[in-house]
Amino acid sequence: MKNKDPILVMLQLTGGNDYLNTVIPYQDPNYYDNRPTLNFGENNIHKLNADFAFNPSMLPMKKIFDRGNMAILNGVGWESPTRSHFRAMDIWHTAEPDKVGHEGWIAKIIREIDPNGENPIAAVNVGYGLPRALVAPNVSVASVADLDNYGMLTSIDKQKQREHLLNRFASMYAPAIGSGPVMDYLGQTGLDALKGADTLKIAPETYSSSVEYGSDSLGTKMKDIARILLADLGTRVFYVEHGGFDTHAAQAPNHAKLWNEVSKSVADFWDDLYEHSAVDNVLMVIFSEFGRRVKENGSGTDHGAAGAVFAIGPQVKGGFYGDYPKIRAEELVNGDLAYNVDFRSLYSTVIEDWFSLDSIPLLNGNFSKSNFISKVAV
Taking residues 37-44, report their average pLDDT.
90
Residues forming a β-bridge with 104? none
Q: Residue 94: CA atoms inside 13 Å, Cβ hemisphere, count? A: 19
CATH at 60: 3.40.720
- Confidence band for 11, pLDDT divided at 50, 70 and 90: very high
Q: Is there a contact between 281 and 6 (Cβ–Cβ < 8 Å)? A: yes
* For residues 350-361, average pLDDT: 97
372 belongs to a structural domain: no
Least confidently predicted of 7-21, 56-70, 181-195, 217-231: 181-195
For residue 272, pLDDT beyond 90: yes
Residue 357 lies in a domain: yes
pLDDT at 141: 84
370 is a domain residue: no
As a whole number of angstroms, the distance between CA 102 and CA 45 comes to 42
Radius of gyration of the chain (CA): 20
Q: Please state, in angstroms and rounded to a whole number, the distance separating the CA atoms of residues 153 and 333.
A: 51
196 falls within a domain: yes
Q: Which residues contact 361 (CB under 8 A, 6 or more apart)?
A: none
What is residue 145's predicted lDDT score, i.e. its pLDDT? 84
Predicted confidence at residue 70, as pLDDT, reads: 98
Residue 153 has pLDDT above 50, yes or no: no
Residue 291: pLDDT band with limits 50, 70, 90: very high
Query: What is the average pLDDT value for the chain, to the nearest integer?
Result: 89
Residue 203 in domain: yes
Amino acid 191: pLDDT: 46
Strand partners, 142: 124
More confident residue, 143 or 224: 224
Asked if the structure places residue 374 within a domain, the reply is no
What tens digit of pLDDT does each residue of 237-256 get? 999 999 999 999 999 999 99
Res. 297: pLDDT tops 50: yes
Containing structural domain, residue 262: 7-363
Provide the pLDDT confidence category of residue 308 given band limits of 50, 70 and 90.
very high
Give the pTM.
0.91
Number of domains in the chain: 1
